[in-house]
Structure 1
Amino acid sequence: MTLQQIAFHAGCSLATVSRVLKGDGPVSDEMVRRVRRAAAELGYRPPPGGGGARNRPVVGVLVPSVTNPVFAASLAGIQHRLQAAGHGVLIAQSNYDPASEARAVAALLEQRPTGLILTLCNAGTSEALSAALPPTILLNNRPVPRFPAAVTVDNYRAGCEITRHILAHRHRRILFVSGHFASSDRARLRYEGHCAAMKEAGHTPLPAMEIPFVDGYENLDLSGVAEVHRPTAIIASNDLLAVGVIAALRREGLSVPTDVSVAGFDGIAIGRLMNPPLTTMAMPDGDMGVAAAALLLDIAENAQQCRHLCLDHRLYPGGTVRMVSEER
């Protein structure tokens, strides 16, 4: 297989094919798709030599944290799908810092990836990223005009549903504890869904308690808000934070769910191993990674149209939310 054959199949010049395959030089998005589709249809693979594995096509992946089980599951799904397609994976993390995302993406671009899969703190800040990007998929962020291809769950609806579940257990004073909304539009959407469900039921939602995502879990102090708001239930914006909430309540001499009910989001394994198991809104994190990788391959290699895939979440009732006999 020669570059000339790819050029003929794609209907372009040899120089254009060379620029696309090397990721070097100005080429329109449409021409990139045509060349990559032609290369895929003709079974082209980079020649051996010059570093071996370095010639293997790679995809850059940005996540907020590689230690969070949610993103670890998504990364496993991404790697599984891309390895099956002969692609490697480059990983960068933002540490939930919007200011560091552009630098992290720039570092990925230095490796000339064939595509990017990005979980941003807030998709609305995408304007800060480089203007010249390969095919890009948002993972966990809603699509935006610049990045119409995305794989998400409906975090707003999930926030509504977990709140309705707790309201059905006769709780009225429900506190939402979250990492900073500026660091996660997923957390913000979950809180907005919570507020909507509270208002729907005729209750005024409490202000969210926001803490740092990176180092705020282990030493969480709930004494002040517990004294002011006296919540009978607490919703954490993710399961790791829910575990931190339970530990903080125990430090205050409170039991879960006897004194305070607790719920989270994500459905990570540690929540199911707790006693009682954590009440949570389980998310298909591994499947989302597989879907994002498959969507990227479709767009980058087969010139498919950008799509927004929204996967289903589900309630895992667990045992950390109890029925209250009356408003306390």
Structure 2
Amino acid sequence: MPKEPQNIHAVAARAGVSAATVSRAFNCPDKVAPATRELVAHAARELGYQPNAIARTLRTQRSRVLGVVLPTLLNPVFAECLQGIALAAARNGYAILPAMTGYDDEQERQAVTQLLAGGVDGMILTVANPTDSQALERLRGVELPYVLVYNAHAEHPCVSVDGEAAAAEVVARLAALGHRRIAMVSGTLAASDRAQQRYRGYLRGMAQAGLVPPALVEVPFVTSAVMALSRYLQAQPRPTALFCSNDLLAIRAIRAAHLSGLSVPQDLSVVGFDGIAIGQDLTPALSTIAQPSHDMGRHAVDLLVHAMERNRLPTAADSLYLPHAFHDGESCSAATGAVPEASGRSPSSRPVSPQGVTP
């Protein structure tokens, strides 16, 4: 005989609570004690009970779905963040609906429009530039709760790292290793506020080290990055160190150095930014600034859900800056003939509030 479908009364009997408590556990979990919520969830799993999401939405006017807008999943840093978002959302009783934008402003706007039409309760986003984002303007106009991840902006709720300080630390480390010709490599600078923050930090670090920065090396297309960087490294005078605004560019810089007849790190030191796992599998292993992408996704969900449970919008005052760390791999060493100095700088080691952080 087919198994008879279960309902909240069966779950209530199994858990030893009232049907009203079961209903609250699914529809208003913040109003139920954690131990009781777990008791109800355990009973539901044992019985194979799944709450009717459509009926619940009609009763509560909530979909229990979060929209997620990211530039791409081809960069592992965003995939790691999405995993953190998905796990934290599930833990809080939400599903996620992701959209990719290809670093394009218009696609960001379209993604937000589609997710709004889908009735999501809130959104987590990475946008090209929060200052003039039409997507964020739309969200503010309809007063939908949202949190930015990776972006750092004084007027928006964000979960990020202090990219400017991290970049300045990289330059200080390279200068302490005797490097004087330190160049920075980036994608199209105007397309990413993260790259802009890191470039400001690079310029600050060069000024603090008393060094003159060469022109920024912009590589608009990742697919042609290797050949573009190879041509750059064959010109004179070439740099002795490259700071790349992300790990994918750093990996391509190592390949470009090889094609140019240069050894890394003997002839050229290369440092990335992100801390993607594959960087540690390279030969040489990549030196990089690591940001906690999984935790950034998790904190973004928690910040968003916390605000929604209190029927308010997240604000810039809720922003959280998480610690970054320098992973000292094999792609960075002392400049040829230089005597390394003792470095007086160390990576950030604890979360900080927006106060005192240059976004």
Q: Give the TM-score, by structure 1 length.
A: 0.81
Equivalent in the alignment of 2:341 = none
Alignment CA distance shift 1:83-1:208 (3 Å): same
Residue 191 of structure 1, CA deviation: 1.3
Paired amino acid for 2:177: H
The percent identity for this pair of structures is 37
The correspondence for 2:124, drawn from 117, 129, 134, is 117
1:184 deviates by 1.1
* SS of structure 1 residue aligned to 2:186: strand
Q: Is the 8 A contact 2:185 2:242 kept in 1?
A: yes
Partner residue of 1:298 out of 306, 322, 338: 306
Q: CA deviation at 1:67?
A: 1.8
Pick one of 260, 273, 277 that aligns with 2:285: 277
- Return the alpha-carbon distance in structure 2 between the equivalents of residues 63 and 213 of structure 1: 18
Q: Is the 2:244–2:273 contact (alpha carbons within 8 Å) kept by the matching residues of 1?
A: yes
The answer to whether the 8 A contact 1:151-1:291 is kept is yes
Within 2, Cα distance between the matches of 1:298 and 1:152?
18
Residue 51 of structure 1, CA deviation: 8.6
Residue segments in structure 2 that go unaligned for 5+ positions in a row: 1-26, 33-49, 339-359
Q: Secondary structure at the match of 2:337?
A: coil
Q: Which runs of 5+ in 1 are unaligned?
A: 1-37
Match of 1:194 in 2: 202
Do 1:152 and 1:310's aligned partners in 2 also have CA atoms closer than 8 Å? yes
Separation of aligned partners in 2, 1:53 and 1:271: 44
- Deviation string 1:247-299 (CA, Å, 9 cap, x unpaired) is 11111111111111111011111111112211111110000000000000001
Determine the structure 1 residue equivalent to 2:247: 239
- Cα distance in 1 for partners of 2:236, 2:334 equals 22
Structure 2 match to 1:137: 147
**C-alpha displacement at 1:303, in angstroms?**
3.9
For residue 319 of structure 1, report the CA deviation from its aligned partner.
Answer: 1.1
Deviation digits for residues 152-192 of structure 1, max 9, x if unmatched? 10000010011111111100101111111122111111111
The residue aligned with 1:48 is 52
| CA RMSD of superposed structures (Å) | 2.5
Task: Return the alpha-carbon distance in structure 1 between the equivalents of residues 307 and 174 of structure 2.
Answer: 41
* Structure 2 residue 74 is matched with structure 1 residue 67: yes
1:49, 1:180 → 2: CA distance? Answer: 43
Alignment match of 1:311 (pick from 304, 308, 322): 322
Distance in structure 1 (CA, Å) of the matches to 2:231 and 2:325: 32
Taking the aligned partners of 2:28 and 2:264, their CA distance within structure 1 comes to: 58
Residue deviations 1:126-172, cap 9 Å, x none? Answer: 24541214101011111343x3x110100000100111111111001
Residues 1:252 and 2:260 are matched in the alignment: yes
Counterpart of 1:154?
A: 162
Matched, 1:101 2:119: no
The amino acid of 1:321's aligned partner reads C
Q: Partners of 1:53 and 1:245 in 2: how far apart?
A: 50
Q: Does 1:320 align with 2:327?
A: no
C-alpha contact 1:58 1:114 (8 A) present in aligned 2: yes
Q: Which amino acid aligns with 1:87?
A: Y
Decide whether aligned partners of structure 1 residues 185 and 315 sit closer, same or farther in structure 2, where only a CA change above 3 A counts.
Answer: same
Give the letter for the 1:81 counterpart.
A
Q: How many residues align?
A: 287
Q: Which residue of 2 aligns with 1:204?
A: 212
Equivalent residues of 1:124, 1:144 under 8 A apart? no
- Find the structure with the greater CA-based Rg: 2
Q: Name the amino acid aligned to 1:105.
A: V
Q: 1:241 and 1:299 mapped to 2: Cα distance?
A: 37
Q: Return closer, same or farther for 1:167/1:85 CA change in 2, 3 Å cut-off.
A: same
Once the two structures are TM-superposed, the CA of residue 325 in structure 1 deviates from its matched residue by 4.0
Residue 266 of structure 1: aligned partner: 274
* Aligned partners of 2:230 and 2:259 also within 8 Å: no
Question: Structure 1 stretch 189-198 or stretch 216-225: which is displaced more?
Answer: 216-225
Q: Secondary structure at the match of 1:215?
A: helix
